[in-house]
Each structure stands twice: as C-alpha cells, then as structure tokens.
Amino acid sequence: MQTELLQEARRQAEICNACRYCEGFCSVFPALHRERAFSDGDLTQLANLCHNCRGCYYACQYTDPHEFGLNLPAALAEVRHDSWDSYAWPAPAARAFHRNGGMIALAAVLGFALLFAIARFAGNAGGGTGYYAVLSHNLMVAIFAPAFLLPLLSLAVSLRRYWTAVGGGRISLSHITEAFGSAARMTNLAAGHGEGCNFEDEDRFSQGRRHVHQAVMYGFLLCFASTSSATVLHYVFAMSAPYGFFSLPKLLGVPGGILLTLGCIGMAVLKLKADKSLGDPSAWGGEMAFVLLLGFVGFSGLALYALGSTALMPLILALHLGAVLTFFLLTPFTKMAHGFYRLTALIREAQN
C-alpha cells in the first residue's frame, strides 16, 4: 500500500483521537478511540469501516483553513481504495479499472453484446422458445458459470489478504450475526445521531444515501434470488424458461430489477451533488461507472421482460447478457468489492 496515504491517515487519526469531539458518530470512532498508536493494518481497518457519510468533516473544527487541515473522510477514502487495489487478485486489473473504469465497462458491455450477437448467427441458437431461441442454454451455462465462480475466487483471495493485514482472528457466529445485522440496517449511514448523513449537503441531514443503498442491496439480492430460483426450477423440477409473471423467478426478479434501477439512479444523483474533495477524486469515475453498469443490468433485465415477445428481444438480450457478464467479471475490481470488504471489516470490528 502507498506509504504516503497511510502516513497522512495516521496523522489525522492521531489528531482525531486527541480531540474526540466526533465520538459516537459511526463505527469508525469507537474503533479509532480504542487505539493509542495506529499500525498500517489499523488504518486499513478504519478506512473500510468508514461509510464516507462526511458528518465528522462538517462537525470538525480543524478542517481548512485551520493549520491541521483535517479531511478524515478523504484520507480514509484514499486508504480504502488503495487497500482494494493492493489486496485485489490480480492487482493490475484493479488498478486498470481504478484509472479507466468508465471506458472499460462500456467497452466490455458492447464487446460482449457483440460476441453474443455473433454467437447467435454462428449457429448457437438453442432452437427452443424464448431466450433459448436466441442462445442455447448450454452456451449460457458454459459462459456464465466460470464468469460467476472466478470472481468469487478472486474475492476470496483478496479478503484473505485483508483479514491477515488487519489482524483478524477466529470468527464466531455472533461476530457474523452482528456484522450482517449492521449491514442489513445500513446502521452507519444513519450516523451516530440517527438523523442521517450530510453526504450531499453540508447543512442538511438526510437518510437519502442510506435508502438508495438499501434499494440497491435488496434489489440485487432479489435479482440473485430470482436467478437462483430459476436454476432450481430448471434443474430440479425440469421447468424451463420463460416463466409467467406469477412464477417465483418473476415475483422476485421484477421488484428486484425496479429497486436496483431506481437505487442506482438515486445513487448517481447523490454522487453528482456531493463534494468530490471529501472522497477519493481519482476513484470517482470508476465508482460512477460501476453504479451506471449495475443500474443498466437492472434496467435491461426489466426491458427484456417487458419486450421479450417483440422483435427487439434478441438485441436487448445481447445487451443484458453483455452487462451481466461485465458486472460479474469486474466485480472484484469495482465498487462492488466494497460490500465484501465492508462486511469483513464489520466482522473484524465485532471481534473487539
């Protein structure tokens, strides 16, 4: 990890530890106040506990133009993104997306969509009904099974490196339960006072960022549950797609797609309103690219359902599959990884 980023974060953490005005604001400060000196692992853990709500910055009396020049949200954001790049496997892929996330995501979606279109005309249509009339089921499985499993392997390696760096110990069920409970409620996005955070406006407390994060998280989980239920129906009960609206895949997938799409739109709007200098400006483009990619996955899935019986279906299917494949392959190197790191950080915090 970059030494200068850690040194600056250490300087600011030591000043915050002496002041303690922000005690109780979020999970960062109890963890920070337990220490007297901060190792690189301590700072990495603090950075991944931080949800960048920015309340501490607006409450701080030592921000610019004070000579201390504190900006703890930005300092932790830079360490956080650097930790993802450093622990990612393979690391060069993470650094490449960090620098050129928007172009990489766009090129990958269009490139994969083109390949799916070519595969259709090259004789890989399944001869079945619905989507399988465009691409065979076996071809989809052959492409998406490794595209789902390889990123999980990459994340496992990354999180193992992180766990070692922050001194994580043996995990118990109570640690997992506490961490998942905090993540499910998005506790730290409500800040310590419970009124919300100041992410998009210094003078206004809002639960907006918490709510759009919840929409994205629960929308994604519903979409994943929809795909999982369709897999069970196909392989266990020999019920092949397409499924009607009152089937389990659709009852889970349609609300999930709506939540995912609206949540990503809301998140993009908030990021446009927020002050970039209170995060890591160099990562802003990659983060926005990820939000738009995830939103497009949800939107194209809804469009595919709505227009699945029209002549536009093959084009929409190619774009949707291209977006989904891009999302899977880039997951370990995009902002999506932050969910895994943050949950791991919450488990580590539960051990204290």
CATH code, 177: 1.20.950
Average pLDDT over residues 2-12: 95
Instruction: Tell me which range, 210-214, 260-264, 270-274, is most confidently predicted by mean pLDDT.
Output: 260-264
pTM of the model: 0.89
Q: Which of the four pLDDT bands, split at 50, 70 and 90, describes residue 193?
A: low
pLDDT of residue 194: 62
Contact 326, 293 (CB under 8 A): yes
178 CA to centre of own chain: 20
What's the rounded Cα separation, in Å, for the pair 31 and 72? 14
Q: Which of 85, 100, 127 is the last residue before a domain boundary?
A: 85
- Are both 7 and 54 inside the same structural domain? yes
Q: Is the pLDDT of residue 265 over 90?
A: yes
- Are both 49 and 156 inside the same structural domain? no
- Are both 66 and 94 inside the same structural domain? no
Q: Which of 33, 68, 85 is the last residue before a domain boundary?
A: 85
Instruction: Write the Ramachandran bin of 135: left for phi over 0, alpha for psi from -120 to 50, otherwise beta.
Output: beta
pLDDT of residue 109: 93
What's the rounded Cα separation, in Å, for the pair 321 and 112? 8
- Are both 215 and 323 inside the same structural domain? yes
Q: Which of the four pLDDT bands, split at 50, 70 and 90, describes residue 78?
A: very high
More confident residue, 80 or 116: 80
What's the rounded Cα separation, in Å, for the pair 28 and 48? 9
- Are both 273 and 334 inside the same structural domain? yes
**DSSP classification of residue 240:** P
Tokens matching residue 137: 């089921």
What's the rounded Cα separation, in Å, for the pair 241 and 221? 20
- Are both 42 and 154 inside the same structural domain? no
- Are both 313 and 205 inside the same structural domain? yes
pLDDT of residue 72: 96
Q: Give the total number of structural domains in the chain.
A: 2
What's the rounded Cα separation, in Å, for the pair 261 and 215? 9
- Are both 77 and 18 inside the same structural domain? yes
Q: Which of the four pLDDT bands, split at 50, 70 and 90, describes residue 154?
A: very high
Q: Which of the four pLDDT bands, split at 50, 70 and 90, describes residue 128?
A: low
Q: Which of the four pLDDT bands, split at 50, 70 and 90, describes residue 127?
A: low
pLDDT of residue 170: 93
Q: Which of 30, 59, 85 is the last residue before a domain boundary?
A: 85
pLDDT of residue 192: 53
- Are both 80 and 109 inside the same structural domain? no
- Are both 192 and 216 inside the same structural domain? yes
- Are both 161 and 291 inside the same structural domain? yes
Q: Which ranges in 120-275 belong to alpha helices (H)?
A: 137-165, 173-185, 208-235, 248-273
More confident residue, 203 or 341: 341
52: containing domain: 3-85
pLDDT of residue 292: 95
Q: Which of the four pLDDT bands, split at 50, 70 and 90, describes residue 129?
A: low
pLDDT of residue 92: 86
Q: How many CB atoms lie within 10 A of CB 317?
A: 24
Please state, rounded to an integer, the average pLDDT across all residues of the chain.
89
Give CA angle at 96 (91, 98), nearest 5°.
Answer: 95
- Are both 66 and 106 inside the same structural domain? no
